[in-house]
Homo-oligomer: A and B are copies of this chain.
Amino acid sequence: MTADKPLRADTRADKPLRADARRNRDLLIAKARELFDAGDFFDIRFDDVARLAGVGTGTLYRHFPTRESLAEAVYHGEVTALCDRARRLQATLPAAEALATFLRDMVDHIDAHQGLARTLATLMADHSGALAEGSRVLEQAVTDLVAAAVRDGAVRDDVGAGAVMMALHGIGAAHDRPGWRAEADDVITLVLDGLRRPL
């Protein structure tokens, strides 16, 4: 049953992938990230991503059958970076502080990449399964942070990390609100204060 397939279905590895193929793939991802940051990703013809990256439409569709699958490739990079950060924090700070810092930094990060945030929010709501892989990784990081804080006794144990994910979801999804930054900070504040054992 498809035994020897490598575990990591990552960007690298999995299949040798011919030289020109990898080059084109990377070109596409790079151009996509650019469009994400500009917030244009959903406003242009999908075919144009190919043109802008300097490849044919056929090539685009072979590497990324759907708009979402291309988005996933970019998203995965983002999430991986965030999770590395989470692990580093967890190693150097008390659990509660690590969680707080991570959440605050997350807002910073989204704030610094508005266009990207907008795009990802759209994706999350649109075709639910598209970001599944990347989202799972992020969720794992949050879950670990929360679990550690619970073990420390710094955080109540009757609400799961899922609630925190939902709140983050809201922060990302509401990217277009006028007072976004301040409100996002407030949400984090509410979540963190709410997480302390009540009374």
Are B187 and A163 in contact (CB-based, < 8 A)?
yes
Are B173 and A125 in contact (CB-based, < 8 A)?
yes
Stretch in A53-61, A71-79, A82-90, A191-199 with 4+ CB within 8 Å of B: A191-199
Count, chain A residues at interface, CB 8 A: 37
Most buried by B among A171, A173, A190: A190
Q: Which A residues have a C-beta under 8 Å from some C-beta of B?
A: 121-122, 124-126, 128, 159-160, 162-171, 173-174, 176-177, 179, 182-184, 186-187, 189-196, 198
> For A177, what are the chain B residues with a Cβ–Cβ distance below 8 Å?
162, 165-166
> For A159, what are the chain B residues with a Cβ–Cβ distance below 8 Å?
186, 189-190
> For A162, what are the chain B residues with a Cβ–Cβ distance below 8 Å?
177, 179, 182-183, 186
Residue ID in chain B nearest A159 by CB atoms: B186
